[in-house]
């Protein structure tokens, strides 16, 4: 039984990572958006290090949220169009495991790179060195939560031709707690306060999302198909 469950997870994780590698231009789009927009913000405000550091936590997290939202719409659309989604639905594996593999692959190719390149943005925003590690950790946990929540919205809007706007309206209220505690983690580090509490809340959000979102996505996919 465990082999069947792990097989469904690993097979779809490897499959989506391979597809992402073959479509590297689509993969780079959210990362380029994150870098370009975050680079333009310091040019549009007064180049004062103190002011930039005050704006950095919210701006960096908003850009990461929008970059994740930009890529989540296509998570199931290609599978829906070529018929492979139907094969996944009728496969003997527990449906939550392939879904977990697909969402994990999305985080590995979008969320994790965003977290790893965020110190470059932090330098441009004059963030102190003590805020770099909390920023990377909060983005690593928070973008994983964004991937799970966004996947629920992507599954619900799957049959719609232009579901991008509806997807944003569905998931944006659920994104707000992640945005609040993610930026609070960085802000606490900038202010010299303890930031582990906000990071622990993000970890709790991730644990809840991993437990509940695959079940909600599975139900939404069955309805959509």
pLDDT band at 92 (very low <50, low <70, confident <90, very high): low
Q: Pick the more confident residue, 155 or 91.
A: 155
Helix/strand/coil (H, E, C) string of the chain? CHHHHHHHHHHHHHHHHHHHHHCHHHHHHHHHHHHHHHHHHHHHCCCCHHHHHHHHHHHHHHHHHHHHHHHHCCCCHHHHHHCHHHHHHHCCCCCHHHHHHHHHHHHHHHHHHHHHHHHHHHHHCCCCHHHHHHHHHHHHHHHHHHHHHHHHHHHHCCCCCCCHHHHHHHHHHHHHHHHHHHHHHHHHHHCCCCCHHHHHHHHHHHHHHHHHHHHHHHHHHHHHC
Q: Is the pLDDT of residue 2 over 80?
A: no
Domain boundaries, the chain: 2-224
The whole-chain average pLDDT of the chain stands at 84
Mean pLDDT of 44-48: 73
For residue range 126-147, list pLDDT tens digits in order.
888 899 999 999 999 999 999 9
Query: What digits encode the pLDDT tens for the residues 162-221?
Result: 666 778 888 899 999 999 999 999 999 988 889 999 999 999 999 999 999 999 988 888
pLDDT digits (tens, 9 = 90+) for 196-211: 999 999 999 999 999 9
Q: For residue 3, is pLDDT > 50?
A: no
Q: Give the model's pLDDT for residue 178.
A: 94
């Amino acid at each position: 039984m465990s082999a069947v469950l792990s097989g469904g997870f690993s097979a779809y994780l490897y499959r989506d990572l391979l597809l992402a590698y073959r479509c590297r231009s689509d993969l780079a789009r959210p990362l380029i958006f994150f870098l370009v927009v975050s680079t333009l913000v310091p040019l549009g405000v007064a180049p004062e290090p103190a002011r930039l550091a005050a704006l950095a936590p919210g701006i960096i997290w908003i850009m990461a949220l929008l970059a994740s939202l930009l890529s989540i719409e296509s998570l199931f659309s290609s599978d829906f169009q070529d018929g492979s989604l139907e094969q996944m639905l009728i496969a003997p594996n527990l449906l939550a495991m392939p879904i977990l593999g697909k969402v994990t692959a999305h985080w590995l190719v979008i969320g994790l790179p965003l977290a790893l390149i965020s110190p470059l943005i932090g330098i441009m925003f004059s963030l102190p060195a003590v805020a770099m590690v909390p920023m990377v950790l909060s983005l690593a946990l928070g973008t994983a939560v964004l991937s799970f929540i966004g996947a629920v919205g992507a599954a619900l809007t799957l049959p719609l031709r232009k579901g991008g706007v509806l997807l944003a309206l569905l998931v944006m209220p659920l994104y707000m707690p992640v945005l609040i505690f993610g930026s609070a983690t960085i802000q606490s580090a900038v202010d010299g306060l303890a930031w582990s509490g906000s990071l622990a809340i993000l970890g709790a959000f991730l644990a809840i999302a991993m437990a509940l979102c695959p079940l909600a996505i599975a139900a939404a996919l069955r309805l959509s198909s």
